[in-house]
Amino acid sequence: DTEVTQTPKHLVMGMTNKKSLKCEQHMGHRAMYWYKQKAKKPPELMFVYSYEKLSINESVPSRFSPECPNSSLLNLHLHALQPEDSALYLCASSQEQGTTYGYTFGSGTRLTVV
């Protein structure tokens, strides 16, 4: 299995809703990431988990809350979002060490905040 699977593919939520994005990989990768991407812009790093521990938080507002229940799963909990949070949210994973360096991105969740 060489895939990173993200659900849901599309999500519309109101500013008072609580929702969660899910990401799963079974490649044995020990680093997992959340990115936010606006149209035709590069992905912006939000969070990094290394060996299931949060290692990087790029000053992301607290309305975004990551969780890594185990080495294969990564969640992003959303609460009280703003319309400007509408974007493509990408999960990625990579091996920390060894000869495989490239990221594998999931297909993303297209989030619209209304």
Partner 1 sequence: GENVEQHPSTLSVQEGDSAVIKCTYSDSASNYFPWYKQELGKRPQLIIDIRSNVGEKKDQRIAVTLNKTAKHFSLHITETQPEDSAVYFCAARPGGSYIPTFGRGTSLIVHP
Task: State in angstroms the smallest separation of the CB of 70 from partner 1.
Answer: 20
Stretch of residues binding partner 1 (CB under 8 A), selected from 13-21, 65-73, 79-87, 104-112: 104-112
60 binds partner 1 (CB under 8 A): no
Which of 25, 36, 43, 46 contacts partner 1 by CB under 8 A? 43
Measure the N-to-C terminal CA separation of the chain; round to a whole number of Å. 36
The C-alpha atoms of residue 34 and residue 108 are separated, in whole angstroms, by 10
72 binds partner 1 (CB under 8 A): no
CA-wise closest residue to 23 among 62, 77, 60, 59: 77
25 binds partner 1 (CB under 8 A): no
**DSSP bridge partners of 36:** 44, 89
